[in-house]
Amino acid sequence: MTVLVTGGAGYIGSHALLRLLREGERVVTIDNLLRGHRRPIELLQERFPGKLTFVEGDIADEGLVSGVMAAHGVTTVMHFAALTYVGESVEKPLWYWTGNAAASLALLRVCDRSGVERFIFSSTAATYGQPGAEHVPIVETTPQHPINPYGASKLAFEQMLWDWCRQRASSGRPVGAAALRYFNVAGCDRGGLLGEDHDPETHLIPVILQAALGLRERIDIFGEDYPTPDGTCIRDYLHVEDLVDAHVRVMRALQPGETRRYNLAIGRGYSVREVIEACRAVTGREFAVRAGARRAGDPPVLYADPSLIANELGWRAEVTDLHAIVESAWRWFLEHPRGYGDSPARA
Ligand code: UFG
């Protein structure tokens, strides 16, 4: 069996590659390097000689992808490749529909023609939109009403997956599929090989750590007037290694004909202020914090009930302490203040 990982040069995809390679899986990854980095792929290839094939290209290129599937005998797909900025999706909706829905559909068409038996999709809490207080913590049956093109494009692909599974089951060639809905993924490989390098960076923890390193003037808090205990938004932060652990468990459990949907989260929320305090404690650095205006589209409180995957697969986040999540990121940021060093804007 060979696993195809799309988007393996990105933050989460590269951590998934590391885990799969550690498990002894044969892995091939396709990435167009639009936002991913060549360096983590090189590091993984050095660490696991001969075990990881990298193909630079786009998942929308059906000829390329079917060639890769046939050459490697791909039976499992982990689909991480995506555009992932909520704000950008509002500014460029058609680009997001193309990158996240149309390109993923092209990938699925190739899967349908090849020997793929299992498909595991990176979905998002953004598919739930802005659930009312009565729906928090979020469970998998919470209504999905995305409020931006990012969430909508991810939800559309979930629906394509379910339709594909239904049709394949009814035609006697069943396939298994899972949509894993991520909450706020954070932290870095605790072995120190891989990190988080987005350009532009907008995620809370890396932005704070860049401020702690003196690479940013300050951290702006997007709103202090939310209906939460300290007025700042609450999110459920999950360590990236726990996230990829869930993928491996799902991959091992998923049977032909099954569809699974799981929330991936620790099951408790931290406010923006709490995250800032955790970063101060871990880094021991002073940095400026400014209370600013709300950011459009931010729900006040998002955290999940992850008990479905706990009950069905025995998965629970191992790293539940926010300090430990921040520590793993800080170690990598201290050693790589400019990230992987190949982003034009920060080289
Ligand atoms: N925040 C700040 N200042 C910053 C950055 C973030 O105050 O400089 C706040 C945000 O307003 C939010 C919280 O920190 O309240 C977390 O923000 P992130 O940008 O780190 O993450 P989001 O919760 O907005 O988004 C994450 C993923 C998305 C996904 C979404 C689902 O990054 O891909 O969760 O809810 F769609």
Ligand 1 centroid – CA 148 distance (Å): 14
Answer yes or no: are the C-beta atoms of 298 and 222 closer than 8 Å. yes
Rounded Cα–Cα distance for residues 341 and 325 (Å): 23
Question: Is 105 exposed, middle or buried (CB count within 10 Å of its CB: 0-12, 13-18, 19+)?
Answer: middle
DSSP assignment string, 140-164: TTS--B-SSHHHHHHHHHHHHHHHH
Rounded Cα–Cα distance for residues 1 and 32 (Å): 24
Rounded Cα–Cα distance for residues 105 and 109 (Å): 6
pLDDT digits (tens, 9 = 90+) for 233-279: 999 999 999 999 999 999 999 999 999 999 999 999 999 999 999 99
Furthest CA-CA distance within the chain = 62
Residue 24, by phi and psi: left (phi above 0), alpha (psi -120 to 50) or beta?
left
pLDDT digits (tens, 9 = 90+) for 193-235: 999 999 999 999 999 999 999 999 999 999 999 999 999 999 9
Collapsed DSSP state (helix, strand, coil) of residue 190: coil
Answer yes or no: are the C-beta atoms of 27 and 3 closer than 8 Å. yes
Ligand 1 mutation target, pool 11, 83, 85, 86, most atoms within 8 A of CB: 86
Ligand 1 centroid – CA 257 distance (Å): 35
Ligand 1 centroid – CA 86 distance (Å): 9
Secondary structure string (H, E, C) spanning 225-245: CCCCCCCCCEECEEEHHHHHH
Rounded CA Rg of the chain: 19
The DSSP bridge pattern shows strands 259-264 and 26-31 to be unpaired
Catalytically active residues, by annotation:
150
Ligand 1 centroid – CA 203 distance (Å): 6
Q: Does 347 have pLDDT greater than 80?
A: no
Tell the residue number behind the tokens 């032909």, with chain if given. 256
Which class is 2-342 in CATH? alpha beta
pLDDT digits (tens, 9 = 90+) for 54-78: 999 999 999 999 999 999 999 999 9
pLDDT range class, residue 179, cuts 50, 70, 90? very high
E-state strands within the chain = 2-6, 26-31, 52-56, 74-79, 118-124, 176-182, 184-186, 218-222, 234-235, 237-239, 259-264, 270-271, 288-292
Atom 1, ligand 1: residue with shortest CA distance: 204
Rounded Cα–Cα distance for residues 204 and 218 (Å): 12
Structure tokens at 55: 């193909």
pLDDT digits (tens, 9 = 90+) for 277-301: 999 999 999 999 999 999 988 889 9
**Which residues form the pocket of ligand 1, taking CB atoms under 6 Å from any ligand atom?**
84, 86, 124-126, 150, 184, 202-204, 207, 219-222, 233, 235, 272, 295, 298, 302
Atom 33, ligand 1: residue with shortest CA distance: 84
